[in-house]
Structure 1
Amino acid sequence: MDKNKLIRKTITEQGLIPLYFHPDPDTCIGVMKALYAGGVRVVEFTNRGAAAQDNFEAMLKVRDKECKDLLLGIGTIKTKKDAKAFIRSGADFIIAPGMIEEVAETVHKEEMLWIPGCMTTTEIIKAEQAGASLIKLFPGNLLGPGFMSAIRELFPDLLFMPTGGVEAEKENLFAWFRSGVSAVGMGSKLITKTVLEEKKYDELTAAASAALQLIKEVR
């Protein structure tokens, strides 16, 4: 199985991509290890601060020693320059907040998985034509499961993952998976401000494990 197929399979089986950023490298590593301990095997770190690349590289070093089967991708990639930089760093996959052609071209040249953010059917069609196989529905809280249900039959060959406002709560997850998504992205609803500020990693491990179990139940 090639790497991109493995990543898509892992995302689909896990049903969840946790995502976060923090300026402190030790906190970034602590969160990653806590998620891993909770059963998470694919994570998105977001490129949202000056320290993002250094912290990402520090995370990769720990991943390679302690969490070898963890797939670590980078999100919020908006430019060709950033895509190239994080590909050099060793990202397993690239997530963009929108349908950005120069990012798609850069990632595909490296034969890597590119996951673009889309909000309309036009954007989804453009992303599909540009080679996307997995679409990030963003922002998920504005689109809602009803949007996914309405477009599902238009795109039988694509996988979908809403991100933004997805709750680690049974009713919300059931609505999303019933609508046809393959996974959900979850940021602050899972990796809370309290966890980050107070380094409550045991709580995060428990929350991640509970979220994965809940997804199994609602499918």
Structure 2
Amino acid sequence: MPTKSQIQDSIIKQGILPLFYNDSKEASIAITRKLYEAGIRLIEYTNRGGAALDNFRALKKLQQEELPDLLLGIGTIKSAEEAVQFVDAGANFLISPLVNPGVAAVAAKNDLLWIPGCMTPTEIYNAQQLGAVLIKLFPANILGPAFVSAVKELFPGVLMMPTGGVEMSQENISAWFDAGVSAVGMGSKLITKSIIQKQEYNQLYIATLRALQFVQSAR
């Protein structure tokens, strides 16, 4: 098991963190396989539905049997109780849409990387005090790259990853990296409703390669 700093470095190296949830276990497995095929080695599965825990366990089984170098994190963790459930299920890292000291404590106890969601300088400061180094800026489409430019110097050493509305375009992804982010989180702009509904997983493969290329060009 990689250390939390190694996982953090891997997210930054990958440059993009795909995130998704689907009620269907089969669809969740198919999406994960296709992301992996395109070169993705870290994924955030989100705790956004009743099947999240069961599906996450199925993805861990997939990871262990087929995708040994995949690291599987869990997102949308809002309470210590949720954190414990998914740590017990084998989560490699924890991501939250907010700053919860209880979640930070569970991550620290288990020596896991915790990436909290922040929208204000106060939240970034509070997350930093709780040990977070990589911060999820959420929702990214509301904050915009200008927010990063404005606050980055206030928080030396803090790494930022905008999530929620990062666009599938060279222009948008370049704007984020030019502002100083370390990676971008991408959900429905990458793993679109159309791809899921029509099971167009080859489209997902092509889109993922494109997104990785956008990040490479942005750097």
**How high is the TM-score relative to the length of structure 1?**
0.98
Q: Deviations over 1:28-50 (max 9, x none)?
A: 00000000011111100000111
Aligned length: 219
Could you tell me whether the CA contact under 8 Å between 2:16 and 2:185 is conserved in 1?
yes
Matches of 1:132 and 1:38, distance apart in 2: 29
Q: CA deviation at 1:65?
A: 1.5
Matches of 1:186 and 1:37, distance apart in 2: 17
Q: Deviations over 1:34-78 (max 9, x none)?
A: 000111111000001110000000011011111111111000001
Matches of 2:197 and 2:11, distance apart in 1: 28
Q: Deviations over 1:164-214 (max 9, x none)?
A: 110110100110000000000000000000111111111101110111011
Aligned partner of 1:136 in structure 2 is 136
Alignment partner of 1:148 is 2:148: yes
Q: How does 1:174-185 map to 2 (within 5 A)?
A: 174-185=174-185
CA shift in 2, pair 1:190/1:2, >3 Å = closer
Q: How does 1:13-162 map to 2 (within 5 A)?
A: 13-162=13-162
Aligned partner of 1:196 in structure 2 is 196
SS in structure 2 opposite 1:164?
coil
Root-mean-square deviation (Å): 1.0
Q: CA deviation at 1:152?
A: 0.9
Matches of 1:17 and 1:47, distance apart in 2: 16
Could you tell me whether the CA contact under 8 Å between 2:47 and 2:74 is conserved in 1?
yes
Matches of 2:70 and 2:114, distance apart in 1: 18
Aligned partner of 1:210 in structure 2 is 210
Matches of 1:209 and 1:14, distance apart in 2: 12
Unaligned runs of 5+ in 1: none
Could you tell me whether the CA contact under 8 Å between 2:77 and 2:94 is conserved in 1?
yes
Unaligned runs of 5+ in 2: none
Quote the sequence identity (%).
51
SS in structure 2 opposite 1:43?
strand
Q: Give, as a single letter, the amino acid of the residue that structure 2 aligns with 1:154.
A: L
Q: Deviations over 1:113-159 (max 9, x none)?
A: 00000000000000000000100000000000000001111111111
Could you tell me whether the CA contact under 8 Å between 2:45 and 2:56 is conserved in 1?
yes
Structure 1 runs of 4+ with >6 Å offset: none
Matches of 1:207 and 1:177, distance apart in 2: 19
Q: CA deviation at 1:2?
A: 5.1
Could you tell me whether the CA contact under 8 Å between 2:72 and 2:93 is conserved in 1?
yes
CA shift in 2, pair 1:195/1:2, >3 Å = closer
**How high is the TM-score relative to the length of structure 2?**
0.98
Matches of 1:214 and 1:165, distance apart in 2: 16
Matches of 2:158 and 2:92, distance apart in 1: 20
Report the more deviating stretch, 124-133 or 192-201: 192-201
